[in-house]
Structure 1
Amino acid sequence: MHSFNSPQRTMNKEIMALALLSLLLLSSTATSTDPSVIIVGAGMSGIMAAKTLSDAGITNIKILEATDHIGGRMHKVSFAGLNVEAGANWVEGVNGKEVNPIWTLANQLHLRNFRSDFDNLSSNCYKQGGGLYESSVVEEAIDMVDKVEGFGEKLGAGLHPSGKDDLSLLAMQRLMNHVPTDPVGMAVDYFTYDYEFAEPPRVTSMQNTVPLATFNNFGDDVYFVADQRGYSSVVDHLAHQFLKTDKEGKIVDPRLMLNKVVRHISYSGSGVTVMTEDGKKYEADYVMVSVSVGVLQTHLIRFKPDLPHWKILALYQFDMAVYTKIFVKFPSTFWPTGNGTEFFMYASERRGYYPIWQQFEKQYPGANVLLVTVTDEESRRIEQQSDDETKAEIMEVLRDMFGKNIPEMTDIYVPRWWSDRFYKGTFSNWPIGVNRYEYDQIRAPVGRVYFTGEHTSEHYNGYVHGAYLAGIDSANMMIKCIKKGMCKFLVPAKFT
């Protein structure tokens, strides 16, 4: 390992940093009987934080949302006569020992959903050049992944809980002498890791994902939401519980302000001032920032004074992953249908090249729609090319799988989350080396500036339920400060 500082100097720096953080009693004086709060962002975390504050009697709030709708990365779009989900699409973690709060809400709203069945995936793996692989070949690759993950669970159980000995998923694979390089192995590897975390094994933390808390706690089942009201109706439902509506149920509460792009947040010991792109100024006692970690890594929002270096460093260590669900429509069905055919894979020699497919025989009967998922570098590449170029690539892959005589697609929808300045990606991923210490830093308030979002959820980052629980957690931190004067937030020393 290269060293650019003397050992003593490096140690002194670390001691100073730890001392500063151990003294990080980020406090603000409890305010008057009617404290005011600005919430930046009306996604799941922002709305849940606002609801939690409101339930606690803190109702002098303003919610500033950059777009023309609430829900954030839970967002339906119109595609070929259907409403489909551009972002979050599944309730992940169902039928386990604990009940996923999003599953409870989905059932209360009677959201139309379907259990995703991946059990027959081994019989639906297509070769580059045409034809299917023998299911035994794919099952062997799946069994090997299970064996490696079993090893990873045992290894992780013996590591220090602080994460100081964390490994990447790739290092875990190397320890088992199994790094897939053949098309089938790479496709199964992609399905296991990239399809879940939106980033490859080389950057994803083993200790934070093996086992994965979502499935370990809430259950292994996942349910695809195909309700024409949209998955964001869960957020609407929560918002309706504390915001004023008209007779038709439309939110008319003046505290929710859409198309308000926050560009500046000034903060001091006495309050905060928020400036929006339209030149308007809003003042309050506190601000809750619920934008994505991807946005916080850009300069869309300027803080005055600048956020402290420890906060910026923590934010920059997290990854904002990109998970792209491309919907395509055809005049007729040419792919297999029936039981055991919902998901299929394309095993290309180029890892991550249009690998995971889903057909919607049950979810959208007669629609002739397919979904193909890409992530990470492929997502960024595709976002920078035209839809016609993407359409041509997809048609070439489908002809490779199903023959030259398939019909031309009639519609395509390509989300561009990475290019969108209000999101800069789809969800956070914990890379190697990020642990409880950085998690405490990323969720810690800076004076009267509080932070929430799925990236502040220690165990469920990247998930809808993580965003939901993070909104409650961050709001309760603020409530303790406002109501009880408990405004101190201690970040324990690293590796404790």
Structure 2
Amino acid sequence: MSACTDGPAFGKTKETARIVIIGAGASGIAAATRLLEQGFKNVQLFEAEDRIGGRINTVPFADSFVDLGAQWCHGEEGNVVYEKVKDLDVLDRTGDFAGYFVRSNKEILSDDQAKALMEFKDNFEMKPDWEGSVGDAITESYWKEVGQQLVPNDRSVAKEALDSLKRHICSEDACDHVFELSPRSYLNFATSGGDQNLSWRRKGYWKFLSLLLNANEDQPGDQGDLKGHVQLNKRIAEINWSGDGELTLRCWNGQIVSADHVICTVSLGVLKKKHQKLFVPALPAAKVRSIEGLGLGTVNKFLLEFEEQPMPENMRGVAFLWLEEDLKELRGGKFFWLESISTVHRVDRQPRLLEGWIIGAHARYMETLSEERVLEGLQWLFRKFLKFSVPHPKSFLRSQWHSNPNFRGSYSFYPTYADELRTGRTDLGSPLVHVSGRPRVQFAGEASSRNHFSTVHGATESGWREADRLNEFYKGRAEN
């Protein structure tokens, strides 16, 4: 259908089209800055938080800055984050984990055992024809390739190591447990070649956002080129996309906003919680299946600052292996949530810090505890596993992504439930369009990325994708 028959929107141009972007995370910022570069004039971002950045949250802590959200640049080839900063000398190579696998009786696995475990994890490949979960595949492969070779005639140590590896995989893929993780999480993800854990030298992931925004890198939160286009503390209560004309958005404070196009970049967790009330009329069935089928897990981190580094000089980090009898006792006590801590390690360029990771239901539970109770548990964990003393930290910081109503989790994954529903990220990212092809409601964010989900570069690409979709539509109108 020719754009000239496009009903109420006839006559709109890049100068007059009203575009509202919901969410000022990486995808929202990427969409907004590109739209402005492409000549769109009326671009507004509505952000529910009191800051921009979304799940990038760089904050001052200890001797420099830390990232409470996205932390590493994952890969160098085909990674738009790396391409943006590669010539600026702002990334360091983290290298291998090079940590210790420590049992709950303080025994440490040998270097050869640790090497075998990490090589198994790094070299594991998901077979395209595998039927079952990642957990099933990992378990079968592990016992064939490593298993009791770790400690001959002692299956218990091998099982402890496997459980530790599973927690590590969960911390990377954001699932509660590996048996809910679909093989598509591996098969559909396009790994960017090169170092997978490039760390930021000074300003954390804010450095990347500051480049997108043309903002001051020394002032995390500076809106740069988007100054005047961002409204903070603006949570959207309703997106009314009925009819085929303008859309109406209602904010929680009662403010009404009209738009010709809406780009929704809220997290999958918010969509899961709110889509039934957020969209009027209800979303199409295929969109609902994708929202309900895909998963958004919880991965939290905690950071501890000390007067001096408590870990021995030759130790980069620790992974925890629970003896069966200790695990049974743990599960019956008040520190049960410690089971889901995967690793604790040093932090690049912050020599006095330790950083730890916790996954799933226990991560969500930790968010409900006071800092004092969390520290009490961590001190107990250190005493249980480590031969050296870890003093009470000078300061403490943690993330709480699930309990924040504007996120409801950390990053997305493919669960086996999505396989059962025959849905995926293409359905999530597909726009709601007028019969003329005019995009009305568009969707962006890491969860909508087909090949780079759960990453900042995937989120950024999705924002550019939706900006380009609008640009292409208006380019077509100009040609008619």
Same fold per superposition (TM over 0.5) = yes
Q: Given the alignment of the two structures, is residue 439 of structure 1 paired with residue 415 of structure 2, yes or no?
A: no
Describe the shift of the 1:210–1:302 C-alpha distance in structure 2 as closer, same or farther (beyond 3 A).
closer
* Residue identity opposite 2:167 in structure 1: Y
Partners of 1:207 and 1:251 in 2: CA distance: 38
Partners of 1:240 and 1:401 in 2: CA distance: 46
Describe the shift of the 1:110–1:283 C-alpha distance in structure 2 as closer, same or farther (beyond 3 A).
farther
Look up the match of 1:10.
none
Q: Given the alignment of the two structures, is residue 475 of structure 1 paired with residue 467 of structure 2, yes or no?
A: yes
Equivalent position to 2:318, from 344, 347, 360: 344
Look up the match of 1:490.
none
Matched-pair contact (CA < 8 Å) for 2:345–2:355: yes
Partners of 1:326 and 1:28 in 2: CA distance: 52
Any idea what the Cα deviations from partners look like across 1:169-222, whole Å, max 9, x if unmatched?
12323554739872222213332x1131122321222133158412xx433432
Any idea what the Cα deviations from partners look like across 1:382-405, whole Å, max 9, x if unmatched?
112221111111111112233474
Q: Which moved more, 1:42-51 or 1:169-178?
A: 169-178
Look up the match of 1:116.
94
Q: Which moved more, 1:440-449 or 1:462-471?
A: 440-449
Describe the shift of the 1:236–1:278 C-alpha distance in structure 2 as closer, same or farther (beyond 3 A).
farther
Matches within 5 A, 1:10-21: none
Partners of 2:245 and 2:273 in 1: CA distance: 27
Look up the match of 2:355.
371
Secondary structure of the equivalent of 1:178? Answer: helix
Equivalent position to 2:445, from 432, 435, 453: 453
* Residue identity opposite 1:423 in structure 2: F
Any idea what the Cα deviations from partners look like across 1:232-265, whole Å, max 9, x if unmatched?
2322321238xxx9xx985673222122111111
Q: Choose between structure 1 and 2: higher helix proportion.
A: 2
Look up the match of 1:168.
133
Q: Which moved more, 1:470-479 or 1:445-454?
A: 470-479
Partners of 2:264 and 2:81 in 1: CA distance: 22
Look up the match of 1:106.
85
Equivalent position to 1:355, from 337, 342, 347: 342
Look up the match of 1:462.
454
Partners of 1:109 and 1:70 in 2: CA distance: 23
Look up the match of 1:184.
161
Q: Given the alignment of the two structures, is residue 335 of structure 1 paired with residue 311 of structure 2, yes or no?
A: yes
Partners of 1:327 and 1:28 in 2: CA distance: 54
Matched-pair contact (CA < 8 Å) for 1:41–1:290: yes
Secondary structure of the equivalent of 2:233? Answer: coil
* Residue identity opposite 2:396 in structure 1: I
Q: Which moved more, 1:168-177 or 1:455-464?
A: 168-177
Matched-pair contact (CA < 8 Å) for 2:171–2:342: no
Secondary structure of the equivalent of 1:133? Answer: coil
Secondary structure of the equivalent of 1:72? Answer: coil
How far apart are 1:299 and its partner, in Å?
A: 2.1
Q: Which moved more, 1:180-189 or 1:289-298?
A: 180-189
Matched-pair contact (CA < 8 Å) for 1:353–1:374: yes
* Residue identity opposite 1:101 in structure 2: V
Equivalent position to 1:75, from 57, 68, 82: 57
Partners of 2:468 and 2:6 in 1: CA distance: 15
Matched-pair contact (CA < 8 Å) for 2:317–2:343: yes
Look up the match of 1:13.
none
Q: Given the alignment of the two structures, is residue 408 of structure 1 paired with residue 392 of structure 2, yes or no?
A: yes
Describe the shift of the 1:56–1:89 C-alpha distance in structure 2 as closer, same or farther (beyond 3 A).
same
Matched-pair contact (CA < 8 Å) for 1:323–1:374: yes
Matches within 5 A, 1:28-67: 31=10, 32-33=12-13, 34-67=16-49
Matched-pair contact (CA < 8 Å) for 2:290–2:423: no
Equivalent position to 1:381, from 365, 368, 371: 365
Any idea what the Cα deviations from partners look like across 1:297-351, whole Å, max 9, x if unmatched?
112861111222321121111111111111012233221225xx32321222459
| Unmatched 5+ stretches in structure 1 | 1-26, 160-164, 487-496
Look up the match of 1:223.
198
Describe the shift of the 1:231–1:142 C-alpha distance in structure 2 as closer, same or farther (beyond 3 A).
closer
Secondary structure of the equivalent of 2:288? Answer: helix
Matches within 5 A, 1:142-157: 142-145=118-121, 149-150=124-125, 152=126, 155-156=127-128
* Residue identity opposite 2:455 in structure 1: Y
Describe the shift of the 1:186–1:474 C-alpha distance in structure 2 as closer, same or farther (beyond 3 A).
same
Matched-pair contact (CA < 8 Å) for 1:335–1:402: no
Equivalent position to 1:484, from 444, 455, 476: 476
Secondary structure of the equivalent of 2:114? Answer: helix
Q: Given the alignment of the two structures, is residue 313 of structure 1 paired with residue 310 of structure 2, yes or no?
A: no
How far apart are 1:352 and its partner, in Å?
A: 4.8
Look up the match of 1:276.
251
* Residue identity opposite 1:171 in structure 2: D
Describe the shift of the 1:272–1:324 C-alpha distance in structure 2 as closer, same or farther (beyond 3 A).
same
Partners of 1:202 and 1:263 in 2: CA distance: 35
Any idea what the Cα deviations from partners look like across 1:88-116, whole Å, max 9, x if unmatched?
0000012xxx34210122335543x3212
Matched-pair contact (CA < 8 Å) for 1:35–1:482: no
Describe the shift of the 1:117–1:302 C-alpha distance in structure 2 as closer, same or farther (beyond 3 A).
same
Matches within 5 A, 1:197-212: 197-199=173-175, 200-210=177-187, 212=189
Describe the shift of the 1:250–1:308 C-alpha distance in structure 2 as closer, same or farther (beyond 3 A).
closer
Partners of 1:412 and 1:177 in 2: CA distance: 37
| Unmatched 5+ stretches in structure 2 | 148-157, 328-337, 434-439
Describe the shift of the 1:42–1:166 C-alpha distance in structure 2 as closer, same or farther (beyond 3 A).
farther
How far apart are 1:226 and its partner, in Å?
A: 4.2
Matches within 5 A, 1:189-268: 189-191=166-168, 193-199=169-175, 200-210=177-187, 212-214=189-191, 217-227=192-202, 229-240=203-214, 253-267=227-241, 268=243
Equivalent position to 1:421, from 402, 405, 410: 405
Look up the match of 1:17.
none
Partners of 1:143 and 1:110 in 2: CA distance: 30
